[in-house]
Amino acid sequence: MALIELKDIYKVYDMGAEQVHALNGVDLQVERGEYVAIMGSSGSGKSTLMNLVGCLDTPTSGSYILNGVAVEELDDSQLAAIRNKEIGFVFQTFNLLARTDALHNVELPLIYAGLSRGERRERARRALEKVGLGDRMHHQPNELSGGQRQRVAIARALVNQPSILLADEPTGNLDSATSEEIMQLFDELHRGGNTVVLVTHEADIARHAWRQVILRDGKVIADEKTVRAEAALTPTPLPEGEGENSGLSSLSR
N residues, the chain: 253
- Cα distance between residue 122 and residue 127, in whole Å: 9
Pairing mode of beta strands 61-66, 4-15: antiparallel
As a whole number of angstroms, the distance between CA 145 and CA 244 comes to 27
Binding residue for other proteins (CB under 8 A) from 57, 180, 217, 224?
57
Q: Does 60 bind other proteins (CB under 8 A)?
A: no
- Please answer whether residues 169 and 94 qualify as being in contact, where contact means their C-beta atoms are separated by less than 8 angstroms: no
Nearest to 9 by CA among 55, 66, 46, 52: 52
**Residues in a beta bridge with 204:** none
Q: Are strands 35-39 and 195-200 parallel, antiparallel or unpaired?
A: parallel
Residue 78 CB contacts under 8 Å (≥ 6 apart), including other chains: none
Candidate residues 29, 51, 67, 178; the one interacting with other proteins per rule CB under 8 A: 51
Nearer to other proteins, 95 or 178 (CB): 95
Which residues, 197 to 216, sit near other proteins by CB under 8 A? Answer: none
Q: Give the single-character DSSP code of 4.
A: E
- The binding track of 80-119 with respect to other proteins, each residue x by CB under 8 A or -, is xx-xxx---x-x---xxxxxx-------xx-xxxxxx---
State the nearest-atom distance from the C-beta of 186 to other proteins, in Å: 19
Q: Pattern of binders to other proteins over 151-170, x per CB under 8 A?
A: -----x---x----------
- Which listed range, 5-13, 54-62, 129-137, 241-249, lies at the site for other proteins (CB under 8 A)? 54-62
Contact between 76 and other proteins by CB under 8 A: the answer reads yes
Residues that bind other proteins (CB under 8 A): 51, 54, 56-57, 76-77, 80-81, 83-85, 89, 91, 95-100, 108-109, 111-116, 156, 160
